[in-house]
Amino acid sequence: MVFSSAIFLWLFLPVVFVVNLFLNNRVSNLFLLAASLFFYAWGEPLLVLVMILSIVVNWAAARGIFLHPKKKKLFLIIGIVVNLGILGYYKYAGFLVSILNRAAGRELFPVPQIALPIGISFFTFQALSFVIDVYRGEEKTCPKLVNTALYISFFPQLIAGPIVKYRDISRQIAKRKITSDKVAIGFRRFIYGLGKKVLIANVLGACADKLFGLDVTGIPGSLAWIASLLYTFQIYYDFSGYSDMAIGLGKMFGFTILENFDHPYMSGSIQEFWRRWHISLGSWFREYLYIPLGGNRKGKVRTYVNLFIVFFLTGLWHGANVSFIVWGLYHGILSIIERLGFAKFLDRHRLFGWIYTFLAANFGWVIFRMEWLRGSAIFIKRMLLPWMYTGYSVPLGRFIDSKTVVVLILAAAGCGIFQAIVPAKLRKAWKSSVPEALFLVAVLVLCLASVASNTYNPFIYFQF
């Protein structure tokens, strides 16, 4: 079930929201847990058992850590091994077998066809956060099974984040209050996110899919640029829109979920880009991997090695595909180059830094989007040398219409340019005003009409 589907908007959300208003905190936890498991089982009727297994194992490991402090390291190791084992089996087993077969030059083992549980990378990282936070003594009370289960399975951010650390929400699970202000803020945020997804990302994505579906050896440089820009804005509005909806839904149920995006395309360096893009993932890797590896405390060489490891795993986290790994290493190499001194130049030349960062991210998304590296290389070559690849027998109008052009322009402006130009006073006056309320009603109506009439409604990050 996706947030921008008719079943969620017309039935699931209204029923769950209204019923939850009449429940006390303890019963609410049980109800939201049941609703979250139903939400997941709607699309994964059998694989929901994988998440239930994860919940039980992590809760048992956390209790072992809390009740048997002398053996807490053993329980931590058990929790980490089980979590990574589940993730590795479902997400990477086929990939590893393919690599072994390719290295041997023959089929040593048949490649297993394993159905991937939706959002497994997200809920596994949350489960790891839970066990590690308990091990570190972040929690002073023994975790309850219902609270643990709700933390790992809470439907607003279950499928595609943000990744929530246990310590940031455990007290809210134990005790929270739903207020009219929170509900109003939540609805407002949810509608903005829904608009991002349905009215912008879906429009751009439908066109981007057509262009990326062309034979890459025949695509001209101009179409390659258009395709890359469409996907660059599609993935931002798709993922940030989902995060907005998740944060808004959290508010509606009394939870405060931390931000996941901060206008990343306005960054002046790749390092800054990763402080603004998928903030919860970057924060997770920094706290649970980069710092334990030594961070930047053990000399420059060790710092660069740590960054290389983190970005390698960031790419691998996104999927069992060499393209994702190369995409992660590409960002890691750029980050290391900036640390070697390039960042100082970028700080002195902010306009150049912004252009460089946007283009670097744009080229990175081509690697991310293409399913094979050679195709990415051909695609990027045509972008860098457009004068060598001109002419195409099919007119551009077949792929991009005036509506898509307008949406693309609005998407570019809404990534931070509009927010930077409009004075803070006007933005503050707009917030919670009557004009904004009317605007939100119009956005909601347009979204509902689009959902009812359009079958194109993917969520990019569901596959991770």
219 with 389: CB under 8 angstroms?
Answer: yes
Query: What is the 8-class DSSP label of residue 277?
Result: S
Euclidean distance between the first and final Cα of the chain, in Å?
Answer: 15
Which residues does the annotation mark as catalytic? 318
Per-position DSSP letters for 184-239, written without gaps between them: HHHHHHHHHHHHIIIIIIHHHHHHHHHHHTS-TTT--HHHHHHHHHHHHHHHHHHH
Query: What is the 8-class DSSP label of residue 299?
Result: -
> How many helices, marked H, and strands, marked E, lie in the chain?
23, 0
CA-nearest of 347, 188, 186, 158 to 253 is: 186
How far, in Å, CA of 344 to CA of 348, rounded?
Answer: 6
How far, in Å, CA of 56 to CA of 65, rounded?
Answer: 14
CA angle (119 as vertex; 113, 122 as ends), nearest 5: 125
Amino acid at site 163: I
Query: What is the 8-class DSSP label of residue 415?
Result: I
